[in-house]
Chain A
Amino acid sequence: MSATVVTITSGKGGVGKTTATANVAAALAAEGHKVVCIDADIGLRNLDVILGLENRIVYDLVDVIEGRCRLRQAMIRDKRLPTLHLIPAAQTRDKSAVSPSDMVRLCNELRHEADWILLDSPAGIERGFRNAIAPADIVLVITNPEISAVRDADRIIGLIEAEEKGPARLVVNRLKPEMVRRGDMLAIEDVVELLAVDLIGVVPDDEQVVVSANRGLPIVLDGKSRAGQAFRNIARRLQGETVPFLDLESGAGFFERLSRFLRSGGN
């Protein structure tokens, strides 16, 4: 076994990194892959609550790195998805407790034991971000179709390239098709054109994401949710499958269709 290390990052906080990590991890595990997710947001741990594993934490990432426990002891196994594991972040320490080379060493040790290692990066461009991308084979950048999130995503994409971890792959989260239709939200094509990177996922805004977080149940386990479907598609694309993007613009308004028709020269 030799795992692929996928780091999920964003620049701006609050765009859905942790939700994306939890759900892509759960989707891969639901397909039978052995997945270890690592919460690299030291001091602001959250992946544990999103996955509903907060009551089972004994040891954390910093305990492993500082040798207070063995790697296996810090891996919490999800009872609903037996191939899904979490290494939680330390809550009472800060980012300086871990270095990029610590993360590389930890992931190299884990590579033999898993198919996928998913790293949830903290927001920002400092130490925590550098820790999270150091071991990455693939970096996913999450953004929202909002001006500040796109700007920060651009900055982070540049830094990922500078660290020779690029090209980053883009996930646009919390898209509101209705607002795009009204001309009040950047469309996917606009975001992709501005950032000039390949798209790996488009996740519609979905209230069920909040509900599933409340319950500590990944939304990919909900067969009816559109967001869940979008995350399952990201998991498949990570494995190299070609999966068409969800048609979020179906039922586009009259003007959009007319203007698209005119732009395309009536073809």
Chain B
Amino acid sequence: MPDWLNRLLGRKPDSAVQAKERLQLVLVHDRTDLSPAKLAELKDEIIEAISRHIEIDPQAVQIEISQEGREQRLIADIPLRPRRRRGR
């Protein structure tokens, strides 16, 4: 059954769809040996290191693993805060 129809009928998605989604998540972590907890820890450390040099918004920082084929990449998106005006 296509997913949209299951949703329309208020049914659970097909088990194959669930298997695929679960595998997508588990394989990322298997391949990198990086658990979600470790990734969160890494994120905190990156925020801390960068904050020592430049002002950033910790809430807006996004760190994730992207995949291209079997290649993995750690992608960090770190928006900078606009420089505050300094008093003369």
Contact = CB atoms under 8 A, between A and B. Distances in A.
Contacts of B20: 186, 190, 194
B30 interface: yes
Interface in B9-40: 14-17, 19-20, 22-24, 26-27, 30-31
Interface of B: 1-2, 4-5, 14-17, 19-20, 22-24, 26-27, 30-31, 67, 69-70
Contacts, number: 52
20 contacts: A147-B22, A151-B27, A154-B31, A155-B30, A157-B70, A158-B70, A180-B16, A183-B1, A183-B15, A184-B16, A185-B16, A186-B16, A186-B20, A194-B20, A194-B24, A196-B70, A255-B1, A255-B2, A256-B2, A259-B2
A51 interface: no
The 6 A-B pairs of least Cβ separation, nearest first, read A183-B14, A259-B2, A196-B69, A196-B70, A147-B19, A184-B15
A150 B67 CA distance: 17
B17 A151 contact: no
B48 to A, nearest CB: 31
A194 B70 contact: no
Interface in A186-223: 186-187, 190, 194, 196-197
